[in-house]
Structure 1
């Protein structure tokens, strides 16, 4: 039997162009948008996605809580700029190397926002949240054992210089911005590609640089939960639940006003802000 021609072997294969590579839609093997979505929703791979959320949130909190705890152990060694930039760069890296696995939510407020948007099934939200809380707790516990200082040094607490409602408003506004950036750069319920990675990472750094003196700029109930649990100090934690969740809801409403409703293929296209015809349409050549 003669070997099929190169054209015959690749007939029907998805076409890959430079835009796909830049946007992070191509990893080792090209796949269509439909294949990527099917893989993301395959129930048999849920264990892998949950592990990804544990691992990703672990890395995030390791950097976020580690800055404050390292500063407590070595006074003056960690500046505020470094403390807020480290977790931002960590999120950037996690999106780049794990975004296609679990979507790199790393944050209960993000998972809830994707579900409210219609891009993520509600039945999967509890598992993601538990995974995120577990990852945050493991990171805070490891830091406590290794550094020997209280995990409260790496948590977020409302400033005593202002009433608590000021910290609540700050968390709401900062999370509103964060989730708006995520919904505007994600593909459906997945943070993938260089655009999303740099957009989300850059926003986290900028928000932390100016907002952290008031509330710590957590924007993430899991990020604050881990250190609070390990230190048994949940002082003001309600702010870091209510603020981010309210901000996420406001971001979803804003996303509807800007791009229409989410859900399905149209939701993925709306989340990207444009229809990528090269990916959404099969190659008919």
Structure 2
């Protein structure tokens, strides 16, 4: 069940995000801000729709990093990663069937525009931020859990805004490997794979360094639910 959810979630993320790039390349009607918005919105939609089933990883490096910090069982890692890769390849294949995509356009996903070193550094930085945010909203029981989808989606939107024009961005090896396999274009692919792995693991370490606090338990929030907290506040005001 969880693995099927990872296939479906990854499929629609790649289909919508890469699809926006493809449609913009062919028809020029979406624009770069629109593409950034699509990436953020589709991730948010998938987190809220199926996150309660599989945890909404949709990303091999998220699965690996959560496992490193004991938030996910090791025995499920291979099947999750296989499901994510399959979802990405199926999405890339669907887009190739629907549109006449040239290798020059190639979704504008894994071919850096400038120097490889600059693209690698940017990928590490935005992947760090991506996993840092996920660690905060999804693994810390003091966070407001109901806002996780919005927070993660907005982080992706911002990262694409900043780094998208430079090299397309990834933050997800499945997102880059799937279209690369379908189109058989591997130029610069290592940047997106290595950069996302290094950045997300560093982001996990970064959040775990500040996770613990010297505050007594009595000063920490009693509830992880924004809705419950709001309800309690209203009740006390009556």
Q: TM-score range by the shorter chain?
A: 0.7 to 0.9
Deviation at 1:275, TM superposition (A): 5.3
Q: Distance in 1 between matches of 2:204 and 2:212?
A: 10
* Residue of structure 2 aligned with 1:276, choices 207, 223, 228: 223
- Do residues 64 (structure 1) and 17 (structure 2) align? yes
Matching residue of 2:45: 93
Cα root mean square deviation, aligned:
2.3
Moved over 4 A (4+): none
SS, match of residue 159 in structure 1: coil
Change (3 A) 1:155 1:221: farther
Matching residue of 1:50: 3
Change (3 A) 1:226 1:275: farther
Deviation per CA, 1:134-166: give whole Å up to 9, x if none. 001111101110112247532513433x32011
Matching residue of 2:72: 120
* Residue of structure 1 aligned with 2:158, choices 206, 209, 225: 206
- Do residues 231 (structure 1) and 183 (structure 2) align? yes
Q: Distance in 1 between matches of 2:180 and 2:146?
A: 32
- Please, what TM-score do these two structures have when normalized by structure 1? 0.71
Deviation per CA, 1:220-257: give whole Å up to 9, x if none. 10111111111000111111111011011111211221
Structure 2: gaps spanning 5 or more residues: 214-219, 229-238
Structure 1: gaps spanning 5 or more residues: 1-47, 262-272, 280-285
Q: Distance in 2 between matches of 1:277 and 1:60?
A: 27
Please say if residues 110 and 248 of structure 1, whose CA atoms lie closer than 8 Å, have aligned partners that are also in contact. yes
* Residue of structure 1 aligned with 2:147, choices 189, 192, 195: 195
Change (3 A) 1:277 1:142: closer
Deviation per CA, 1:162-219: give whole Å up to 9, x if none. 3201101111100100001101000479xx9531000000111111111111221211
| Number of residue-to-residue matches in the alignment | 217
**What does 1:1-285 align with in structure 2 at a 5 Å threshold?**
48-74=1-27, 76-150=28-102, 153-160=106-113, 162-187=114-139, 193-260=145-212, 276=223
Pick the structure with greater CA Rg. 1
Please say if residues 111 and 168 of structure 2, whose CA atoms lie closer than 8 Å, have aligned partners that are also in contact. yes
SS, match of residue 238 in structure 1: helix
- Please, what TM-score do these two structures have when normalized by structure 2? 0.84
